[in-house]
Structures are given as structure tokens and as C-alpha cells.
Homo-oligomer: A and B are copies of this chain.
């Protein structure tokens, strides 16, 4: 594909961790050309000047976002701004006929649910209604050809990929909550200066945050119901989850340790079979053999999700361990995977690099 025929792609929110990771990944992608990069502020310089690790972007200026220039220069745009700003811009670009992929939480929930969990005014309901939820492995048919995509949350991706096969196979005892004890590296909180995120404060530390009120809770419950239950059910019927988020003294990664009360006797080998059948042919998902479990470092820097399974017969509990890189499969990587699917490209294009190790 010659340079002139490449898909022209923009990144709005290029200065955040999601945006920077998008630029990094897009530089590998053979079919795209990044023609636009914007933040919410005026900057004076190229991407390569401001971010020496993005050395290939020495000719790409970092601009203040402008809808006309963005729509003019791009066929597709990734919008990776904070929730509250991102979804409206994605909607705007979608309205101008561009493929818009929103990495924020703005387009993933009904407006009223959004307002109560995010404590912010929602985007117009008709924009939300047009957005397709980008959990690629579970919604590929809808994503194909979509032009407005709500990219899933990092925690939600790890948890949904980990729980859905069990929920769909009706392994869980009814009327009992699923427990999700989740941990995230600090890059999940975005690229901003906080006291709590200082190395002096976070190194050798560990603690929960937003206990009982993390905004990914309704996202997980909504899509557990949507993809996991036989008939499309209303929100009241989803399995309730206890969802706890905790900060790891680590840069990247989501690790979800899930506890599902079993409804009937089942052996771990059967569960592994169910998971492997569910994800057969999926290049970004690996189900471990019984007795082996994911490590964060085995997925870091890649679009992989690794899942490990254990059945505790003493207590009739299925344990699911799900690990991914929050900036890849949890954000920029899955966004690029969705871009590929929406564009009719091979979903792995630009995403085949292996995890960095050690």
C-alpha cells in the first residue's frame, strides 16, 4: 500500500498515556499514516520534540484540537481524552462521517447510569445509542463496519473476558454475587501529577481506591448481561458483582482475581475446555493449563489477555485470574484492534509485537 493510499488517522488526547501508546502502536501499522495529533492545550513543537521516545514523529505537530482540521485531515480518529470531554468529540467526528473510536467511558453506558456513576453530565443519548461497544471478542459482528465505537474500560475488559465464558455456561450459582478483586498499575490513572502517584508514595505501597463506587462496575454488569445471558435481558437481571479496585506499585497492567460461587460440581479441566472453546481462534487470548496462572509480565507491552482457572472444591468456588496490559488490550491496543475490524483489516495488524520481558 503506498503512502498516499494509507488510511489517514488522528489521535486526539495525544499527550495522555492512551494517546502516546496509540502513537507508538500506529507507528508499526503498515496501512495507516498518522496525520493529526492534538491535545486540549496549545503546544509548540512536534511529537518527537516533546516525547523523545516517539522519534519517528519528527514531522507531526502537536496541535490544540480543532474539529474542522481534524475531520479534514483524517479518515479515522481515536479520541483518548478524559471522560466528560472525550465522548462529545467522538460524536462530533462521527457526525462528520469519520470513524471515531472513543477510549473514555462516555459512550459505554445509558445516560442515566453514566450520570450517577461518573457524576458528570452525559453525552446526548442519541450519540450513546449509536456507539457500538468495542469488546472485540464478544461483539465483533457489530464492530465490523461500525463508525462510532465505545472502547471498553481497562478493568472492564479484563473482568468481562475473564467472567463471560463462565457466566454464559451458567456455571455460577444464581443469586450470589461474583467477587472481583482487581489491581492496576499506576498508568491506569492517566498521565498527570498526583501526590499519591509519586514513586516515593506508591513504591512499596498498595491500597484500594473508589471502594464501592468505581465507574466500571455498571459497565461490567451491563455487558455481562448483554453478552452472557441467553436472551437480551434488562439490566436488573445481570449477575451482581462486588468490584474492588486497588493500586499496584507497578507501571502497567490489570490483574483481576475473580471468585464465582459454583452452582454445580465441575472440574477445572471442564472449565478450561469451556474457556478454550469460547475463545478458539482468538489470537489475543490465552487460556492457561490447569495449575498455571497468568503473570502481569507475560502480557506487558502486548495486546494479550492471559486467563488462568482454578476450582476450589473445598468451597465450590471457581477462581478466574485475568491479566492484561491496561494501555494495550485495556485501551490503545484494543482500540487499534477495533479499528482494524471496523476497517475490514486483519485484526492483528500492527499488534503482533510480543510482550517486553523482563
**A: which residues have CB within 8 A of B?**
17, 20-21, 24, 27-28, 51-56, 176-177, 179, 181, 183, 185-187, 191-195, 197-208, 211-212, 240-242, 244, 246, 248-253, 255, 257, 259, 261, 286, 288, 293-302, 304, 306, 308, 310, 312, 314-317, 319, 321, 323, 352-358
Contacts and interface: CB of A to CB of B under 8 A. Distances in A.
A87 to B, nearest CB: 25
A242 B244 CA distance: 17
B312 A206 contact: no
Given A319-B211, A354-B54, A358-B201, A248 B249 contact: yes
Contact of A186 (B200, B248, B300): B200
A204 B255 contact: no
Question: Copy number of this protein in the oligomer?
Answer: 4
Given A186-B200, A354-B56, A205 B296 contact: yes
A181 B206 CA distance: 13
10 contacts: A27-B352, A52-B288, A52-B306, A177-B315, A179-B317, A199-B202, A199-B249, A200-B251, A206-B296, A248-B248
A206 B255 contact: yes
A24 B314 CA distance: 41
A302 B302 CA distance: 15
Task: Please provide the 6 A-B residue pairs with the shortest distance between their CB atoms, ordered closest to farther.
Answer: A181-B181, A177-B315, A53-B355, A200-B358, A207-B295, A205-B297
B191 A195 contact: yes
B191 A194 contact: no
Contacts of A310: 211-212
Contact of A200 (B187, B244, B321, B352): B187
